[in-house]
Amino acid sequence: MTMDGVRALVFDVFGTVVDWRSGVARDAETFLKRHGAGSVSPTAFADAWRRRYSPAMEEIRNGRRPFERLDVLHRENLEAVLPEFGIAPASVPAAELDELSRAWHRLDPWPDAVAGLTRLKARYIIAPLSNGNIALMLNMAKRSGIPWDAILGAEVVKAYKPAPEAYLRTADVLAMRSNEICLVAAHNGDLAAARACGLRTAFVFRPTEHGSGQTTDLHPVQDWDMVIGDFLEMAERLQV
Residue numbers of the chain with a pLDDT score lower than 70: 1-2
Summary mean pLDDT of the chain: 97
Residue type (1 letter), 219? H
Q: Who contacts 29 (Cβ-Cβ below 8 Å, separation ≥6)? A: 42
- 194 by Cβ neighbours in 10 Å (0-12 / 13-18 / 19+) ranks as buried
Report, in angstroms and rounded to the nearest whole number, the Rg of the chain calculated over CA atoms: 18
Q: What is the pLDDT of residue 3?
A: 86
- Taking alpha carbons only, the member of 132, 141, 225, 220 closest to residue 181 is 225
Q: What is the pLDDT of residue 2?
A: 67
What digits encode the pLDDT tens for the residues 44-92? 999 999 999 999 999 999 999 999 999 999 999 999 999 999 999 999 9
> What would the DSSP string read from start to end of 50-99?
HHTHHHHHHHHHTTSS----HHHHHHHHHHHHGGGGT--GGGS-HHHHHH
